[in-house]
Amino acid sequence: MNLTLKVWRQKNAKAKGALETYKLNDVSEHSSFLEMLDMLNEQLINEGNEPVAFDHDCREGICGMCSLYINGEAHGPDRAVTTCQLHMRMFKDGDTIYIEPWRAKALPVIKDLIVDRSALERIQHAGGYISVNTSGNTQDANAIPIRKSDADKAMDAASCIGCGACVATCKNSSAMLFVAAKVSQFSYLPQGQVERKERVLNMVHQMDKEGFGNCTNTGACEVECPKGISLEFIARMNREYFGASIVAEN
């Protein structure tokens, strides 16, 4: 198929960016979206131009490295997939495709389609862990049985890949879904109970400090999240936060 691509080009964080138009022909419908971009880059390089910079690594939907806002949707038009899992068969011959970076104050552009997600890292530093040292004599893994339904819920929450699509898609640029996923995972597990209150307070505090917006329950994040992280977890985190704040005030 033959395509017209409108791609965001931006030299660096300080430069002003703009959409550039490229024509790309003979794209196989079996190729992935990123393989289509590889083709574009090969074409640009052969013409002596600078290729488009974009983030990617595993190309199988698990590392969370790829991003991209495609035709106004985080990770493109397909559901429950990352950009790297998106296939060209979702598009038609003659299509014009808009390709832009995540846009959010807390996730500034570094170059072209690559953004800086270190704000998400700092939220994890603030409390995304259980304080246990490495030692060869931790208690036996089966010492505390965990209800299967709780373990499964924890697993669902833990599936977040930290891609940032939820932030990019939210009109308030809120990181609630991302933070709620981690807070919820630990809240379902007995091991997570000791630090439960400090965790939610610290992570939410850091999120606010980084300049992410407030959650107004639009639900857009859940729709675009490639891993189907549920809004239920945001509700759970709100309860956790409320409970912890009351205790903190006393």
Partner 1 sequence: MSKLDSKIPEGPLKDKWTNYKDHIDVVNPANKRNIDVIVVGTGLAGGSAAASLAEMGYNVKAFCYQDSPRRAHSIAAQGGINAAKNYQNDGDSVYRLFYDTVKGGDYRAREANVYRLAEVSANIIDQCVAQGVPFARDYGGLLDNRSFGGVLVSRTFYAKGQTGQQLLLGAYSAMNRQIAKGKIAMHNRHEMLDLVIVDGKARGIIARNMITGEIERHSAHAVVIASGGYGNVFYLSTNAMGSNASAAWKIHKKGAYFANACYTQIHPTCIPRSGEHQSKLTLMSESLRNDGRIWVPKKLEDVKAIREKKIKPVQIAEQDRDYYLERRYPAYGNLVPRDVASRAAKERCDAGYGVNATGEAVFLDFATAIERYGKEKAMVSGIENPSKEKITELGEAVIEAKYGNLFQMYEKIVNENPYKTPMMIYPAVHYAMGGIWVDYNLMTTIPGCYAAGEANFSDHGANRLGASALMQGLADGYFVLPYTIGAYLAKEIRTGKIPTNTPEFDAAEKGVREQLEKLINNKGKKSVDYFHKKLGKVMWDNVGMSRNAAGLKKAMDEIAQIREEFWKDVFVPGEMNELNPELEKATRVADFLEFGEFFAVDALHRNESCGGHFREESVEMDGEQEGEAKRDDVNFRYVAAWEYTGNPREAILHKEELTFNDIELKQRSYK
> Which positions from 142 through 171 interact with partner 1, judged by CB under 8 A?
142, 145-148, 151-152, 154-155, 158-159, 161-162
Rule CB under 6 A: choose which of 10, 32, 82, 184 binds ligand FES: 82
Residue 158 interacting with ligand FES (CB under 6 A): no
Residue 81 interacting with partner 1 (CB under 8 A): yes
Write each residue from 88 to 107 as x if it is in contact with partner 1 (CB under 8 A), else as -, in one continuous string: -x------------------
Tell me whether residue 227 or residue 236 sits nearer to ligand SF4 (CB atom): 227
Q: Which residues contact 49 (CB under 8 A, 6 or more apart)?
A: none
Tell me whether residue 4 or residue 118 sits nearer to partner 1 (CB atom): 118
C-alpha span between 93 and 218 (Å, rounded): 34
178 binds, among ligand SF4, partner 1, ligand FES, none (CB under 5 to 8 A by kind): ligand SF4
Task: Report in angstroms how near the CB of residue 244 gets to partner 1 at its nearest.
Answer: 18
181 binds, among partner 1, ligand FES, ligand SF4, none (CB under 5 to 8 A by kind): ligand SF4
Residue 197 interacting with partner 1 (CB under 8 A): no
Angle in degrees, CA 9, 13, 15, rounded to 5: 60
Supply 234's token pair.
Answer: 């945001």
DSSP-derived letter for residue 17 is: P
> Quick check: helix, strand or coil at residue 18?
strand
Q: Which stretch binds ligand FES (CB under 6 A): 37-45, 78-86, 164-172, 240-248?
A: 78-86
Residue 156, φ and ψ in degrees, nearest 5: -60, -45
Tell me whether residue 3 or residue 207 sits nearer to ligand SF4 (CB atom): 207
Rule CB under 6 A: choose which of 160, 207, 234, 237 binds ligand SF4: 160
C-alpha span between 27 and 154 (Å, rounded): 41
Residue 32 interacting with ligand FES (CB under 6 A): no
Supply 150's token pair.
Answer: 């709780």
Question: Count of residues for the chain?
Answer: 250
Helix (H) or strand (E) holding 179: helix 176-187
Applying the rule CB under 8 A, the residues between 169 and 188 that interact with partner 1 are 185-186, 188
Angle in degrees, CA 239, 204, 247, rounded to 5: 50
Tell me whether residue 64 or residue 213 sits nearer to ligand FES (CB atom): 64
DSSP-derived letter for residue 32 is: B
C-alpha span between 129 and 93 (Å, rounded): 48
Q: Where are the alpha helices (DSSP H) in 126-195?
A: 148-158, 165-169, 176-187
Chain positions contacting ligand FES, by CB under 6 A:
56-59, 61-66, 82-84
Chain positions contacting ligand SF4, by CB under 6 A:
160-166, 177-178, 181, 225-227, 229
